[in-house]
Amino acid sequence: MKLGNASWGFRGTVLEKQLEITRLMGLELLELSVAGHPNDRLQLDASAAQIAEVRKLFQENGIKLCCFSTGNDFTLKNKAECVKQLENVKKTIDICEKLGGGYLRIFAGFEPVEDIVGERWQTMIECLTEAGQYSKGKNIVLAIETHGGVRSFDDGVEHFFSTSSEPESLYRMLSELPDSIKVNFDPANIYAVGIKHPEDVFSRIKDRVAYMHLKDFVRVPGSDRLRPAECGESDMDWKALMSAVSEYQGPALIEYENMEDVEAGCRKSLEFLKKFLTI
């Protein structure tokens, strides 16, 4: 696997600092969020000059620009809203093509899996398929993240099954989508919805996994809520997980989600992961 840093924890950090942290960690990959957060350097109306500036910043820091992320939800109740989200994903694909191409992490959606039936399931599949068709010839590989729905509280979050985190739903989704659409395998997100052995999910979908996020969650004392943590902090069986993914050769991005101490969290995660890897 090729280690780097994911974008979400850096949503409060300017791009120049993100690149500096990644470079000083000795990593060569940084995921660039495009129109996924209000703080992102590039939004849907990004100009040619802004795109060129971002390419230059990556080059100056010796960081490869090939991993991108954005935000979308194709499981919303209103089909028109899903179509609007699809158009935004297409605009993001265009921007990523101008940045040199690579992988674009997207989502299936965040609504409860039991609600996504009939027309809503079909809308999700249609939007994902059309996004995949649009990315063809643009040097972009779409990767759907295994991400549950999330309820936020003052002291943490609760994850619940979505179409991409409930295993049988995920398997069905992939069977109905073109093989060209890949998966961003995030084991902590699967563990967070109660799947004790996310490596078993990986074994079922490994031929579709082209991208990974590596992070962790810990339980808030006295509750079922979670808070983000550096890799290795939970009781997830990291040894079994890392053994299962040992032959994976694609991007594996450290995603420490707390903005306040993101650099420290990423560094601690890297040191933990090094126990399993030859870097």
Domain-embedded: residue 279: no
Angle at CA of residue 6, ends 4 and 12, nearest 5°: 130
The CATH number for 115's domain is 3.20.20.150
3-state helix, strand, coil in the chain (%, to 5): 40, 20, 40
Number of domains comprising the chain:
1
Q: Of 212, 208, 190, 207, which is closest to residue 199 (Cα–Cα)?
A: 190
Range of the domain at 64: 2-274
Q: What does the pLDDT read at residue 222?
A: 87
Domain-embedded: residue 58: yes
Q: What is the pLDDT along the chain (279 residues), one digit of tens a residue?
A: 999 999 999 999 999 999 999 999 999 999 999 999 999 999 999 999 999 999 999 999 999 999 999 999 999 999 999 999 999 999 999 999 999 999 999 999 999 999 999 999 999 999 999 999 999 999 999 999 999 999 999 899 999 999 999 999 999 999 999 999 999 999 999 999 999 999 999 999 999 999 999 999 999 998 889 999 999 999 999 999 999 999 999 999 999 999 999 999 999 999 999 999 864
Please tell me the distance from the alpha carbon of residue 250 to that of residue 225, in angstroms, as a whole number: 31
Quick check: helix, strand or coil at residue 152? strand
Q: What does the pLDDT read at residue 224?
A: 86
Please tell me the distance from the alpha carbon of residue 200 to that of residue 197, in angstroms, as a whole number: 6
Domain-embedded: residue 188: yes
DSSP calls for 50-101: HHHHHHHHHHHHT-B--EEE----S--S-HHHHHHHHHHHHHHHHHHHHTT-
Please tell me the distance from the alpha carbon of residue 208 to that of residue 36, in angstroms, as a whole number: 24
Whether residue 140 contacts residue 100, with contact meaning beta carbons closer than 8 Å, is answered with no
Domain-embedded: residue 178: yes
